[in-house]
Amino acid sequence: MTASPGLGKARTASPELLRSVFRRHAAGVAVITAAGERPVGFTATSLNSVAAEPPLVSFGVGTSSSSWPVLAEAEHVGVHILGEHQRELAATFARSGADRFGPSTFWRSGPEGVPLLDDVLAWLVCRVVARVPAGDHHIVIAQVVEGDPAGGGRPLVYHQGRFTALRD
C-alpha cells in the first residue's frame, strides 16, 4: 500500500481530533425540548433517523448539560428542525446559561405537555424508549408519536463551528 497524496499525518485519538474532524461535517440543526418544572431545551446536531417501523429517532445529550436532569426523566421530548432564518434561536439554545424560553422565544405547550417552538420547518413529539450511556453523553432513542412537517423554508446547517445555510 502506498501513501495517498493529500493525506496529512495521522493524529492520536483525542477529543480535539474528534471536534476537528466533525467541524468539517455539515449537519442539520435541531432543538430538543422537554417539560420539567421549567421547560428545557438544547441545540443538537446529532439528530438521526433510526428506523421507519416503528418510527424512531436518536440524539446525543451531554450528561453535564443543564437539560440532562430533565431529559433523564422525561417520558416525551420535542424535536424541532430549524430553518436558516433561525440562527439566533439555535445560538440561544446552544448557549450555556441563556434564558432559552424567555421573551424572545415563541413557543407553546404541545401534545404530552412538550414545549413546541413556533415557526420551525418541522416538529415531532416523541416518546423516549431508551437512554444509552455513551462516554460523557447519553444517546436518547425516541419513538415518534406525532408531528408536523409543513413549515416552509430551507434548513439551518452547522459547519466549521458556525450556523450557516445551504448554497445552491
Query: CA dist 12 to 17, 39, 55, 82, 166, Å?
Result: 8, 40, 37, 35, 32
Task: Tell me the pLDDT tens digit for each residue of 127-163.
Answer: 999 999 999 999 999 999 999 999 999 999 999 999 9
List pLDDT tens digits, range 76-118.
999 999 999 999 999 999 999 899 999 999 999 999 999 999 9
The number of residues in the chain equals 168
State the pairing for strand pair 137-148/56-62.
antiparallel
Q: Is 3 strand, coil or helix?
A: coil
Q: Cβ-count burial of 114 within 10 angstroms (0-12 exposed, 13-18 middle, 19+ buried)?
A: buried
**Mapped to the 3 state alphabet, what secondary structure does 66-109 carry?**
CCHHHHCCCCEEEEEECEHHHHHHHHHHHCCCCCCCCCCCCEEE
**pLDDT, average across residues 38-62:** 97
Q: What pLDDT is attached to residue 3?
A: 57
pLDDT of residue 1: 55
Which one-letter DSSP state was computed for residue 113?
G
Nearest to 127 by CA among 82, 74, 81: 74
* Cα–Cα separations (whole angstroms), residue 31 to 21, 44, 75, 76, 89: 23, 6, 17, 14, 9
Closest by alpha carbon to 92, among 59, 44, 43, 32? Answer: 43
Quote the pLDDT of residue 62: 96
> Burial, 13: exposed, middle or buried (Cβ in 10 Å; 0-12, 13-18, 19+)?
exposed
* Chain mean pLDDT for the chain: 94
Given a cut of 80, whether residue 4 has pLDDT beyond it is no
Arithmetic mean of pLDDT, 54-77: 97
In this predicted model, what pLDDT tens digit does every residue of 107-120 receive, in sequence order? Answer: 999 999 999 999 99
Residue 103, CB-side half-sphere exposure with 13 Å CA sphere? 0
pLDDT at 116: 98
Q: Grade residue 168 by pLDDT with cuts at 50, 70 and 90.
A: confident
Q: What is the pLDDT of residue 35?
A: 98
Question: What single DSSP character describes residue 160?
Answer: T
pLDDT of residue 22: 86
State the pLDDT at residue 2: 58
